[in-house]
Structure 1
Amino acid sequence: MFDVKAWAVYIVEWAAKDPYGFLTTVILVLTPLFIISAALSWKLAKMIETREREQKKKRKRQENIVKAKRAKKD
């Protein structure tokens, strides 16, 4: 089975022996993940804004319908 402790020791030794190589590798691995995260966050923000705009339009439409019905009753 996979020994986590031995793997962690290997990573720590690698980071101690070659810190620049270790950091470069970590940055290269994490950069695409950060880019994906940023893109998905932006997309989610746009979806939320769109939904809020639609809800605002629906609310305003409903208010106008109620006003029109009240005006007809008078």
Structure 2
Amino acid sequence: MVVFQAGSRGLSAVKGREGVGGGTYRYGAGHACPLQSLISHCGPAVRLIHTFPSRMIDVRAWAEYVVEWAAKDPYGFLTTVILALTPLFIASALLSWKLAKMIEVRDRDQKKKQKRQENIAKATKRTKKD
């Protein structure tokens, strides 16, 4: 099992030793985590949240972790991704709708202005003929 540990270069993956609750989890400066049973039962998302340091993350180790999580629990991974992206989809839909309304109003105004200009041009032609 891959677990993350904070180091001088950010977050890095380390192997946990087998013990009670499925393994020893490390965080911070290598201390044993007191929440082993919670982390082992709740899955990778809780482990990442619990071990996340305030420093830069090692992108390669994080990518390996995500791939491992997706391979071990594909339904949980997809559920998490969909739940995380749902607010963005909703915001995108609302902004698209708002933009479509703005474009409709602009087109309507342009048609009114064009019709007005045509009517003015017709009126000036009539007055010149008279």
Q: Same fold (TM over 0.5)?
A: yes
- Taking structure 2 as the reference length, the TM-score comes to 0.55
Which segments of structure 1 move beyond 6 Å, counting only runs of 4 or more?
A: none
**Corresponding residue to 1:7 among 55, 59, 62:** 62
- 2:73 match: 18
CA distance in 2, matches of 1:63, 1:44: 28
**Corresponding residue to 1:52 among 101, 107, 130:** 107
Hey, which of these two has a bigger chunk of helix by percent? Answer: 1
Paired AA for residue 24 in structure 1: T
SS of 2:88's partner is helix
Bigger radius of gyration, 1 or 2? 2
Which residues of structure 2 form unaligned runs of 5+?
Answer: 1-55
Which residues of structure 1 form unaligned runs of 5+?
Answer: none
CA distance in 1, matches of 2:61, 2:111: 57
- Taking structure 1 as the reference length, the TM-score comes to 0.95
Paired AA for residue 119 in structure 2: N
CA distance in 1, matches of 2:87, 2:57: 27
Partner deviation per Cα, 1:6-51 (whole Å, 9 max, x = no partner): 0000000111111111111001011111111011111101101110
Considering Cα pairs closer than 8 Å and 6+ residues apart, tell me whether 1 or 2 has the greater RCO.
2
Percent same amino acid among aligned pairs? 77
- 2:86 match: 31
> Number of residue pairs matched?
74
Hey, which of these two has a bigger chunk of strand by percent? Answer: 2
The alignment's C-alpha RMSD in Å is: 0.8
How far does residue 2 in structure 1 lie from its aligned partner after superposition?
2.2
